[in-house]
Amino acid sequence: MRYFTLILLTCTMLTEPLVGQNKQLIYGLDEVPQNLMLNPGGIAEGRAFFGVPLLSGIHLNGGSSGFSLFDLAASDGKLPSERISNLIRDLSEKDFITMTQQLELISVGWRKDDKTFYTAGIYQELDFITYFPKDWATLAWYGNADYLDYPFEFDHISARADLLSVFHFGVNKKIDRKWTIGGRLKLYNSIFSGSSLNNRGSFTTSLSDGDSQNIYAQNLNNALVSIQTSGLSRFEGNITSSDIISAGLFGGDLGLGIDVGATYQYDDAWRFSASILDIGAIVHASDVKTYQASGDYLVEGIELDFPDLSQGQNAPPYYAIFENEIEAAVPIDTLYSAYTQWRPVKMNLAATYGFGPTAPGSVACNCTGKGDAYKLESEVGVQFYAIKRPKAIQTALSLFYVRRLLRNLTLKSTWTMDALSWTNLGLVAVSDLGPINVYLAADHLLAYSNLAKARGASIQFGINIKLERR
């Protein structure tokens, strides 16, 4: 029983509100070298770039699809218990909380010739998502007295967390003046992975039959609940930074993946692009522990004994007896077998229309097929983003406007609609100060006046050294 309780409490505690959106603000922005990380078939500028170690790509984002901090702590005259009851009532098992973080350790790119550009690097990534366990939050808050014969489903428990480092090498190829394609090979090194997915079964409280001395019976029906972990022992005991660094440098379980992408310049104004990222998997084979409980169980209570306490007699340990009965009926197995985990595949699609005069510093036309930096002063467009998640594919649709104000200053504004918000305003600023390239991106800007009401937040920052063509 204590293991089931641990599973429930773990998944429930993970539903603390965080702060989100996707990392797509710099997608298609040629001025930022990191746009090639989102589309290996994007437009590669210049002769080479070198990311400042630990500063070339810093990204943090997170969000909740169902509620904000304001919903929990609003000064609206309602009691905290009333607000919690309302949240439990309004949220569904498909509402989620997510947080991602990425840090580029090394990032470089260099041109082989007019048409070929290489990229390579290492980055660290954290990816976390948990779905709201509606049934179990209801059971924990209200109890089961008012939910007779209601099946509390175990599939409402669904969460995943991954901490990994990624080594990558990419090739970007300019085919002609219209087509640019690219691909990237990735080596995944898992530092930690934990998940509780694809659970099944239910817990039901019902009235006992007439032959029973008890009023209620609890049924555990066709249950299969598991927690898969890899690398958990690294975080036990005293953890040092060297332990984490060692684990991130080929100290964990390995996997392979690829990114692919393409850009089609239809004419001087219209551009279309697409990419698919993280097509790959990690084989977890070392330091693997899977905790699994399965079975059917019916308990109608235990016989109560009322000893004479005045005579020094002690009451039996009822909870321990009840716990032992459930553990005997529903054993917890610890498995050590390897398992394969697919990475969350991501997809980008975009269409861009440029207008106005040529941008400051741009070549006069897109006519050589050599990858010259041909740009118009203004662009508008639409971008679609999708990521495969455990219960559903999450999507986002963005409208954007790009304005190249000066030779060395580019601004991009976005309006995004996704599961977190339909009023997500984002902004990107890119500046080239000589060879130093600096970019800053953030979204959910309308919510920053009151962060407690924000369903999400995101920020991205980086510094690179860019070398222009001779």
What is the residue extent of each domain of the chain? 2-467
d(CA 282, CA 341): 5
Whether the Cβ atoms of residue 66 and residue 132 lie closer than 8 Å to each other: yes
Q: What is the pLDDT of residue 77?
A: 63
- The pTM of this model reads 0.84
3-state secondary structure the chain: CHHHHHHHHHHHHCCCCCCCCCCCCCCCCCCCCCHHHHCCCCCCCCCEEEECCCCCCEEEEEEECCCCHHHHHCCCCCCHHHHHHHHHHHCCCCCEEEEEEEEEEEEEEEECCCCEEEEEEEEEEEEEEEECCHHHHHHHHHCCCCCECCCEEHHHCCEEEEEEEEEEEEEEEECCCCEEEEEEEEEEEEEEEEEECCCEEEEEEEECCCCCCCCEEEEEEEEEEEEEEECHHHHCCCCCHHHHHHHHCCCCEEEEEEEEEEEEECCCCEEEEEEEEEEEEEEECCCEEEEEEEEEEEECCCCCCCCCHHHCCCCCCHHHHHHHHHHHHCCEEEECCCEEEECCCEEEEEEEEEEEEECCCCCCCCCCCCCCCCCEEEEEEEEEEEEECCCCEEEEEEEEEEEEEECCEEEEEEEEEECCCCCEEEEEEEEEECCEEEEEEEECHHHHHHHHHCCEEEEEEEEEEEECCC
CA distances from 293 to 153, 212, 260, 328 (A): 15, 27, 40, 11
The partner residues of 396 in beta bridges, in order of sequence, read 385, 418
pLDDT by position in tens, the chain (length 470): 333 333 333 343 333 333 334 467 899 999 999 999 999 999 998 999 999 999 999 999 888 887 766 666 666 666 667 777 878 888 888 888 889 999 999 999 999 999 999 999 999 999 999 998 888 888 878 877 788 888 889 999 999 999 999 999 999 999 998 999 999 999 999 999 999 999 999 888 887 766 655 667 778 788 888 999 998 887 776 776 666 677 777 778 999 999 999 999 999 899 999 999 999 999 999 889 999 888 777 766 544 454 555 555 565 565 565 556 656 656 788 889 899 999 999 999 999 999 988 877 666 666 655 555 678 899 999 999 999 999 889 999 999 999 998 888 999 999 998 877 788 899 999 999 999 999 999 988 887 666 656 677 889 999 999 998 66
Widest pairwise Cα distance in the chain: 102
Token couple for 436: 């130093």
Give 227's contacts (C-beta < 8 A, 6+ positions apart): 7, 10, 194, 195, 196, 290, 291, 292
CB 460 within 8 A of CB 29: no
pLDDT at residue 4, as a whole number: 37
Nearest to 273 by CA among 146, 160, 181, 156: 181
Q: Looking at domain 2-467, does it have CATH number 2.60.120?
A: no
Tell me, what's the pLDDT at 14?
A: 37
Q: Which two tokens stand for residue 323?
A: 């716990």
Alpha-carbon gap, residue 36 to 453, rounded angstroms = 34
CA atoms within 13 A on the CB side of 222: 6
pLDDT for residue 213: 58
| Inter-residue contact 44 to 261 (CB < 8 Å) | no
Q: How far apart are CA 333 and CA 156, in angstroms?
A: 21
Q: Residue 355 is encoded by which pair of tokens? A: 């207008």
Q: Are 339 and 198 in contact (CB under 8 A)?
A: no
Supply the pLDDT for residue 107: 97
- Other CB atoms within 10 A of residue 90 CB: 12
149/217 Cα distance (integer angstroms): 10
